[in-house]
Amino acid sequence: MKQEERPEPDDPHVMGYGKLFAIIAALLVLTCITVAVSYVNLGFYNVPIALLIATAKSSLVLLFFMHMKYEGTAIKVSFLSTIAFLCIMISFTFWDVAFR
Amino acid sequence: MTKQQSFYETPSPPGLRGIWAWLLTRDHKRLALMYLWAILLWFSLAMVLGLLMRIELMWPGRTIMGPETYNAMFTLHGVIMIFLVVIPAIPAVFGNFFLPIQIGADDVFFPRLNLLSWYLYMLGGVFAIISLFSGKGFPDTGWTFYVPFSVSTNTNVSLTVSAAFILGMSSMLTGLNFITTVHRMRAKGMGWMQIPLFTWSLYATAWVQLLATPVIGITLILVILERLLSIGLFEPDKGGDPLLYQHLFWLYSHPAVYIMILPGMGVVSEIIPIFSRKSIFGYKAIVYSSLAIAIAGSLVWAHHMFTSGISDVSIFVFSLLTYLVAIPSAVKVFSWISTMYKGSIQMTPPLFLALAFIYLFSVGGLTGLLLGAAGTNVYVHDTQFVVSHFHFTMFGGTGFAFFAALHFWWPKMFGVMYNMKRAYIASILITIGFIFHFIPMMILGLMGMPRRYFDYLPQYATGNFLAGFGAFIIVAGVALMFTNLLLSFRVRQEAPADPWGGTTLEWTIPSPPPLHNFIATPEVKDFPYDFRQVSDHYNTMNPKEQE
């Protein structure tokens, strides 16, 4: 395996104000949708839809505000492994409760 | 090699003289040594506590302490040994010292963070000590702090739990530092498959440290919150679940077993090829087995809970997963043995201790299978068998690997050789003492003697006496080992740059290393364990020549 590519340490990934405001706007819109959806009874889909919107919002924060979109493979893999660990932790624990 | 100024001799910057040159240092080598002295101190203290417990158990009835003191003793012994010794021992001391050197770097990626880790480690230790002498006494919960007892007991649980939380922070930051260092600071030409196996093991460990430690941090905070606010997270009356605590605790604490053992396996992977004068067998298999242990080891935590009331489906799955960990562990053991096969084996104290590691760890691993099987687990759960099993892995494994690493890298760290004969005697004493100590405990457990009891039925008397006798031999051996190593400073028999005929980068630089580790750009080999270029001198040298 070759040595991984190392990004320039001085590259700060500066984003324009326009892009940042667009993301804030998107987050605000998604928050409004969350609130709006909470007034509609969708039965079983209440929770999945709320989670879906929350996931979209956190993805925007992670990708742009936390610069994940611009990071190298190592950081992306690190992040994904924390998510995988969390999933395993929660699912295995809940699984025990479900079969008790 | 010409004589170079070592990092000890290099003058510190103005304002950082004397003790401040150490207390404010950012040099990974100095920090490693600061960890070393602190860890040796904690180890000695916890070992004495262990000896006192064994003296209490040597004869039936009350011998030197009552049940409350005994409870506090095993808690303190466990907390110190686990959080202050076994978890940090190899990564904090030898990892800090040798990881940057093995990859051809001049320091870790975050030197200031490294210093902060040391301070957090010391702060955690200070908190543990304060908790002894404040409040209503030291906790009597055992190192596992199980609820509901840890929430209801009047002893000083909150402070000790805080100590463990701070120590977790230290461990996590060290892990973060190691991962970043390995990714960003490898010498030119050092790809992933040129990294020495010790560094690989630290890298795999660092991931577990980084991912699992936050879980215990949060869990310990929950215990404190429960004690202060009685939220009811673990109380069925309030809709909580006591098993949730055990899930959260073991979610960290079982992977922590691999935080403890993986670096030890890395040490053995360095020692075996050097003293067999043979390239390591299955380099890639060992690398991948380290990663496999780190991953699979994170999925087996509930095997500590088979008798706690978890579901049968969980027991089946966790039992199966536990057995899976045996595969990469066995890959390592067979690779070490295969490395030695037809090698030109040269016995030295580090090799002796590494071989003792393989034997004792194998016993620990195989008895682990007995515990991983749900049926036998129920039979021996919470008996002396379990205590013996984890001492075989933690002391017989990590402890012996730590001793092996001490003897292996001592000449490099301090530039002096120790007395070989005394080192052998000490190592043999510890090994014999270990077997005397823990084999009777294993039999006692199979006979049904429970753990954490200060007294026992008459039929357990012989086994407990023998175990106590073994404890005295271990302490004598450890005392001799440490004295011998410390005497090397007095005798000052200078160590060469490469006393063993090693092939990794630390053996290419002077002993002790210069401040920035490398005087010239390190030359990275295509394969880190290529012995073809090692001088014939090492291949023909007999042990007497080494003294």
- The per-residue pLDDT for range A16-74, each reduced to its tens digit, is 899 999 999 999 999 999 999 999 998 888 888 999 999 999 999 999 998 888 888 88
Mean pLDDT of A78-98: 86
pLDDT of residue A10: 55
- Closest to B211 (Cβ–Cβ): which among A4, A85, A98? A85
- pLDDT at A88 exceeding the cut of 80: yes
The angle that helices B420-447 and B384-393 make with each other, rounded to 10 degrees, is 150
pLDDT of residue B109: 96
- pLDDT at B286 exceeding the cut of 90: yes
The angle that helices B283-296 and B242-276 make with each other, rounded to 10 degrees, is 170
Higher pLDDT, B433 or B158: B433
- Nearest residue on chain B to A84, alpha-carbon basis: B211
How far is the C-alpha of B270 from the C-alpha of B504, rounded, in Å? 9
Q: What residues are paired with B493 via a beta bridge?
A: B417
> With an 8 Å Cβ cutoff, are A89 and B251 in contact?
yes
Domain-located, residue B9? no
Q: Is B311 on the interface with A (CB under 8 A)?
A: yes
- Closest to B190 (Cβ–Cβ): which among A3, A88, A98? A3
Q: What is the ipTM of this complex?
A: 0.71
Q: Give chain B's mean pLDDT.
A: 92
pLDDT digits (tens, 9 = 90+) for B336-382: 999 999 999 999 999 999 999 999 999 999 999 999 998 999 999 99
> With an 8 Å Cβ cutoff, are A3 and B189 in contact?
yes
How far is the C-alpha of B329 from the C-alpha of B285, rounded, in Å? 11
Q: Kindly list the residues from chain A whose CB atom is less than 8 angstroms away from the CB atom of residue B212.
A: 85
How far is the C-alpha of B417 from the C-alpha of B405, rounded, in Å? 14
How far is the C-alpha of B435 from the C-alpha of B441, rounded, in Å? 10
pLDDT of residue B539: 55
pLDDT of residue A2: 43
Domain-located, residue B90? yes
- pLDDT at B503 exceeding the cut of 60: yes
pLDDT of residue A8: 53
Q: Which candidate in A2, A3, A88 is best for mutational testing of the B interface (most B CBs within 10 A)?
A: A3
- Nearest residue on chain A to B185, alpha-carbon basis: A6
- Nearest residue on chain B to A80, alpha-carbon basis: B211
- pLDDT at B283 exceeding the cut of 90: yes
What percent of chain B clears pLDDT 70, i.e. is strictly above it?
97
Domain-located, residue B7? no
Q: Is B239 on the interface with A (CB under 8 A)?
A: no
> With an 8 Å Cβ cutoff, are B298 and A82 in contact?
no
Q: Is B216 on the interface with A (CB under 8 A)?
A: no
How far is the C-alpha of B182 from the C-alpha of B108, rounded, in Å? 9
- pLDDT at B443 exceeding the cut of 50: yes
- Band of pLDDT at residue A1, cut at 50, 70 and 90: very low
Q: Which domain holds residue B68?
A: 20-536
Instruction: List for chain A the helix, strand, coil content (%; round to 5).
Output: 75, 0, 25
pLDDT of residue B3: 62
> With an 8 Å Cβ cutoff, are A85 and B189 in contact?
no
CATH, residue B33: 1.20.210.10
> With an 8 Å Cβ cutoff, are A96 and B211 in contact?
no
- pLDDT at B405 exceeding the cut of 70: yes
pLDDT of residue A49: 92
Q: What are phi and psi of B493, to 5 degrees?
A: -80, 110
Hunting for tokens 């003793």 — which residue is that? B73
User: Is 0.80 topped by the overall pTM?
Assistant: yes
Q: How many domains does chain B have?
A: 1
Domain-located, residue B42? yes
Amino acid letter for position B9:
E
Q: What are phi and psi of A10, to 5 degrees?
A: -90, -5
Weakest mean pLDDT among A62-66, B89-93, B172-176: A62-66
Size of interface A-B (CB pairs under 8 A): 51
